[in-house]
Structure 1
């Protein structure tokens, strides 16, 4: 069941697209939406993480920060009503904190069932050195995360790609994914990408995928083995071939050095595809 949807926003076009899609999902599920914006202050400022002031209000910094918070709250109020959300309960929250810290805190405190986030995507040096808040949420959130780039006014999902190596225990992820499939009455395409470095026969893999489908009680699905040079490329090419509306993946939630060395196919997909991606961490 999806009852609580969190939409972190930086007021970008992608974040607005995420809010619009969240409204469409809320209408299908009866869920409420929380719009969250976190104002990150420069180090050494006189504000603490709860937004209280401990500096002189007549200082230039104090005046600037008050004006910033007032403008942020006005922008949030404008965003709330920028799309028709009749019948959907929407609340807004502005906090003073690092965005990733506030998102994690809100997920836990509000028992969030789904995060819907916009993603600008990144590549090259920016992707390697920095990573986005969206990637960090994908990697660490304790609930499913839906990432979107483009506007989809009539968000409908008919064809879903479920991509995995199916070698790890993904039961909890599959149960969440089945909820999404049932919500839209969509067809699920299980796909295993066969690469030169880890090649298996099609009959072997097909048998494993059929076993997975039976084990987890899947319905309305297809079994697919797709050959490509790399897993990420294979998932993207397969999704494009079938004109998928959504890609679903379990992520292993690695952090630190392990993440730097291994990377994450799920995070790469979030960066590089225009198709919405639903991820769930199974770490």
Structure 2
């Protein structure tokens, strides 16, 4: 069971995409009367590579740069406190982004991380993409990633894929704090591989358990099962077609490279989604679930699917 949202961590590189994600972080903080933690990490290797500070610079110069970033954060925090009447704390560090986010999450008892998906330049884009994946992999709390295309502050059309995997209840408890009763609508999408017909009953049972919980909270729901291959590709297309404004997924670590990579399912969705993605790491991940991360790339039916009639609840 997830706790109420009391502490939100917002890592920023001061890019335009980060500013876009900040709108969402402020909105969630106001909704829950939560404390917002702003974090900026100065990366010596990165700054040297783009020529802002020459190689061979002494640590004092890095400290000076950190002080500049600290002042920028403080100015931002002051503005947020005045404009939105929320509680804000700033944190500046020199180090590696993902590691620093992980440490700060533990130190500040963070309940939710909200961050932009990419940076403001090609180099930042590659760097922030890597940091996003690493943050999701290491996080002990949900991570909400905001793409540049997302321009609103509320989650009223939520896509909730249901697979035969561990952690479905955890996904619901995580999004329950972001839903607006009598305003948010959740579409439960049972996703079943063509070659895994036996999972139909299990997926349906999980979905109906969630429907009961959402009905009790006044959340409008709909439900359908889908048979398809290349599950991540189908979910991305479905979310785009239905104009979803939040996609919630389980995050499994790739079974062959546990210490390095997310599963292909999670990586593809986080990288390519046009809407925010809330990533939840299940506490228990079975070997069977991990094996499902292979997207059957050699399938002769890459996008074929069957849609039973939708059931409105």
TM range (shorter): 0.7 to 0.9
Match of 1:134 among 126, 132, 135: 132
User: Cα offset for 1:181?
Assistant: 2.1
Match of 2:187 among 153, 177, 189: 189
Q: Which residue of 1 aligns with 2:235?
A: 235
Q: Within the alignment, does 1:17 sit opposite 2:20 as a pair?
A: yes
1:226, 1:238 within 8 Å by CA — same for their partners in 2? Answer: no
Q: Which runs of 5+ in 2 are unaligned?
A: 47-55, 120-124, 284-313
> If the length of structure 1 is used for normalisation, what is the TM-score?
0.79
Q: Which residue of 1 aligns with 2:86?
A: 88
Q: Which residue of 2 aligns with 1:275?
A: 275
Distance 1:31 1:143 in 2: 15
Q: Which residue of 2 aligns with 1:124?
A: none
Distance 1:262 1:281, change over 3 A: closer
1:138, 1:267 within 8 Å by CA — same for their partners in 2? Answer: no
Q: Which residue of 2 aligns with 1:35?
A: 38
3-state secondary structure, aligned to 2:257:
helix
Distance 1:211 1:69 in 2: 51
Q: Which residue of 2 aligns with 1:212?
A: 209
Match of 2:159 among 154, 158, 161: 161
Distance 1:156 1:181 in 2: 9
* Alpha-carbon displacement from aligned partner over 1:54-108 (angstroms, at most 9, x marks no partner): xxxxx95244223322322233234435667421111211112221111111111
Distance 1:129 1:8, change over 3 A: closer
Q: Which residue of 1 aligns with 2:51?
A: none
1:7, 1:36 within 8 Å by CA — same for their partners in 2? Answer: yes
Distance 1:152 1:232, change over 3 A: closer
Distance 1:224 1:270, change over 3 A: same
Q: Which runs of 5+ in 1 are unaligned?
A: 44-58, 122-126
1:21, 1:153 within 8 Å by CA — same for their partners in 2? Answer: no
Distance 1:274 1:85, change over 3 A: farther
Q: Give the stretch that moved more between structures: 262-271 or 7-16.
A: 262-271
2:254, 2:261 within 8 Å by CA — same for their partners in 1? Answer: no
Q: Give the stretch that moved more between structures: 151-160 or 23-32.
A: 151-160
User: Cα offset for 1:252?
Assistant: 2.3
User: Cα offset for 1:3?
Assistant: 1.0
Q: Which residue of 1 aligns with 2:174?
A: 176
* Alpha-carbon displacement from aligned partner over 1:227-271 (angstroms, at most 9, x marks no partner): 443111111122123221100112124587147688242232110
3-state secondary structure, aligned to 1:270:
helix
2:172, 2:210 within 8 Å by CA — same for their partners in 1? Answer: no
1:118, 1:149 within 8 Å by CA — same for their partners in 2? Answer: yes
3-state secondary structure, aligned to 2:14:
coil
3-state secondary structure, aligned to 2:275:
coil
